[in-house]
Amino acid sequence: MATCSRRPRPRRGQATGQASPADGDASGGQPTDGQRSGSAAGTAGAGPTVAARVVAAGAASERADAKQAAPLAAIDDKSIRAEAERRERAAFEQAAAQIREAVRNDPHLADLAQQLAIDLTPEGLRIQILDEEHQPMFATGSAVPNDRARLLLQKVAPVLARLTEPISISGHTDSVVYRGADRSNWELSAERANATRRLLIDSGLAEERIRSVTGNADRDPLLPSDPQAAANRRIAIVVLRAAYPAHAMISPPASDLVSKQPPPAAK
């Protein structure tokens, strides 16, 4: 007679070794609050988010670009200054050549070529009109330019008018003491410089271009070794540079230098 055996039913409270969804996971397979918090903590500890990494990368890129741009900006600024100096020098050299040519081509001024000294200095384009023995630009003790000085300045003025830089004018005397009642070499040199200013303006130079007019008496001689030389009596017109170089640009041409020292003569 065959018999069948029954599997004994588990008693209440006894584990069967298998967890049912109802008994083992009340959420039906969804993560619990603890699991969610643990997962979140793991995510936070893993590093910055994508957005944060993008922002950080952008900031780093900006810093790198700024660091690279700094020397480039300095180079560009230096190049701009160098180009400005080059153009200004070319304009000054052209003006000097035009003045020399204008004097050379005028038969009334041909003999004044040796009394015109033009050079480029760190300050700018300097044009000096020098006295020569027996050929002064002003009568003795006078601040009125003679006819030759007027004609020479009338040749200089149109060339200066084509430039844009400011201009300074200074008067100089030799060391011979001026024997005036109320005047000295200071007044005489200042009055001659101012007379030059007026003549340049009358010849077409804009008055607002004049930066300064000074009288230096005998304190800045052209020929220090011979303070009474006629060449020390002069008018200096300087077209001031807009871009100052760090060093003197060029030396004056040999033809522009006074190579002789004439004997002293009274003003």
Q: What is the CATH number of the domain that holds 197?
A: 3.30.1330.60
CA distance 258 to 115: 8
- Residue-number span of the structural domain to which 231 is assigned: 82-256
In a domain, 184, yes or no: yes
Gap between the Cα atoms of 117 and 241, Å rounded: 18
* 20-75 per-position pLDDT tens digit: 444 444 444 555 555 554 444 444 455 566 666 666 666 666 666 666 655 656 66
Residue 242 domain flag: yes
Is there a domain that residue 12 lies in?
Answer: no
- Strand intervals (E) in the chain: 116-120, 124-130, 167-172, 210-215, 234-240
The span from the CA of 92 to the CA of 88, in Å, is 6
pTM (2 d.p.)? 0.65
Q: Within a domain: residue 68?
A: no
**167-172 and 210-215: which strand pairing?**
parallel
Whether 178 is in a domain gets the answer yes
Q: What is the mean pLDDT of each run of 10 residues along the chain (267 residues)?
A: 52 48 47 50 54 64 62 72 91 96 90 90 96 92 93 95 97 89 90 97 97 97 96 97 56 40 47
Counting the structural domains of the chain, the total is: 1
Alpha carbon dihedral 26, 28, 32, 38, in 10-degree steps, equals: 150
Structure tokens at 91: 């304009």
